[in-house]
Structure 1
Amino acid sequence: MSDQPKHGAPHGMEKYDLGGGDDLGALSLAQQADLNQFKISTRMGNERYLRDHPEVESLIAGFLGDVLTQRPESVREFAAGYFTNPSLPEKVEKQLAERQEKLKQNRVIQSLH
């Protein structure tokens, strides 16, 4: 089996849908090219959405940080409680404000160099 596709897969997806020899697997070259373009446009759309909504990063970072520090027996139950907590919006707003302050401080530090 080949270790690199011959169809220019998007970065990070090179090992998927590999067949043997000249066979790319289940898809034709045209289908694979269309799929790769779809993957690229989907990634770009996702990245654009995440840039426009920094609260998503704060929400996920806060959740993961709490999971790793508290190490709950049931992550599913912990997640249900975490994401239904009435104080979550205030927590996310605070994290966003702290992030903005750090970015501002970093810009000041960089301008001094």
Structure 2
Amino acid sequence: MTEQPKHKPPHGMEPYDLGRGDDLGALSKEQQQKLNDFKKKTRVENEKYLRDHPEVECLLSGFLGEVLKERPENIRDFAADHFTNTELPGQLQKTLEIRQARMKQNRILQKI
């Protein structure tokens, strides 16, 4: 039987394929470590990118909010209409300004 790894996968990530019986499935310890390192590096890079591009969060949260409010039957058509809306850049800019104002207000309130 395949030896159990001595460590767990990074928080929030899929558990390892440990295999069973004749199914080798499991990664070697070295492969597991390389995979963990790759996952951690990718997560850090993604976090940095999202911090540098707050418009991504605004786009996604705006879209998801509209989806939950409208509950469209055809999500693909709804998404196409949403992301090709000529008013979207203006809405996004307004949302970013509100977000920045709230962040500034939060920093002020934290100092109090």
TM-score (norm. length: structure 2): 0.85
- 1:4-54: CA deviation from partner (whole Å, max 9, x where unpaired): 85334111125232335xx98331111111111001100110000000000
Q: Is the 8 A contact 2:16 2:26 kept in 1?
A: no
TM-score (norm. length: structure 1): 0.84
Quick check: 1:100 aligned with 2:97? no
- For the residues of structure 1 that align with 2:70 and 2:27, how far apart are their CA atoms? 45
Q: CA RMSD in A?
A: 2.2
Q: Is the 8 A contact 2:55 2:92 kept in 1?
A: yes
Q: 1:66 to 1:14 in 2, by over 3 A?
A: closer
Aligned twin of 2:51: 51
Aligned twin of 1:40: 40
- For the residues of structure 2 that align with 1:90 and 1:6, how far apart are their CA atoms? 52
Q: Which runs of 5+ in 1 are unaligned?
A: none
Q: Which runs of 5+ in 2 are unaligned?
A: none
Aligned twin of 1:10: 10
Q: CA offset at residue 82 of structure 1? A: 0.6
